[in-house]
């Protein structure tokens, strides 16, 4: 198996912040790690990795744990999230559909 590329410090910090927020939310709900793991559909070991902010956890698992514990993901108002998604789709429509590396120009005459 190929070794994973090390994450940048901001990405590691974001994973740790999300994990800490999940832990706070779990405790506020008065759930054990086992209860949150069961609700999320993962093992306790995986849930502990989420709470520690380990970057090897699948993104969907971490986001589901966040949603279950009430960690705000983007804006809490659904209409505002829809507006933001529309705004991003508008920006994407203005950008090229494909991105190609720049071609080298032979300007040696």
Indicate the angle between helix axes 44-52 and 33-40, nearest 10 degrees: 100
Q: What is the pTM of this model?
A: 0.79
**Greater confidence, 81 or 49?**
49
Which CATH number among 3.40.50.2300, 3.30.70.790, 1.10.260.40, 3.90.1720.10 corresponds to the domain 8-96? 1.10.260.40
Is residue 36 a contact partner of residue 68, using CB atoms and an 8 Å limit? yes
Secondary structure letter of residue 51 according to DSSP: H
Q: Is the pLDDT of residue 1 over 70?
A: no
Per-domain residue ranges of the chain: 8-96
Q: How far is CA 40 from CA 47, 54, 61, 68, in A?
A: 8, 17, 7, 8
pLDDT of 51-82, one tens digit each? 999 999 999 999 999 999 999 888 888 899 89
| pLDDT(4) > 80 | no
């Amino acid at each position: 198996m190929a070794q994973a590329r090390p994450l940048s410090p901001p990405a590691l910090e974001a994973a740790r912040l999300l994990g800490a927020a999940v832990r706070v939310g779990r405790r506020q709900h008065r759930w054990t790690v086992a209860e949150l793991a069961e609700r999320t559909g993962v093992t306790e070991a995986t849930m502990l990795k989420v709470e520690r902010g380990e970057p090897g956890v699948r993104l969907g698992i971490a986001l589901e744990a966040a949603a279950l514990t009430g960690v705000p993901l983007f804006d809490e108002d659904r209409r505002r999230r829809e507006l933001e998604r529309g705004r991003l789709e508008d920006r994407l429509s203005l950008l090229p559909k494909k991105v190609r590396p720049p071609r080298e120009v032979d300007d040696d005459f």
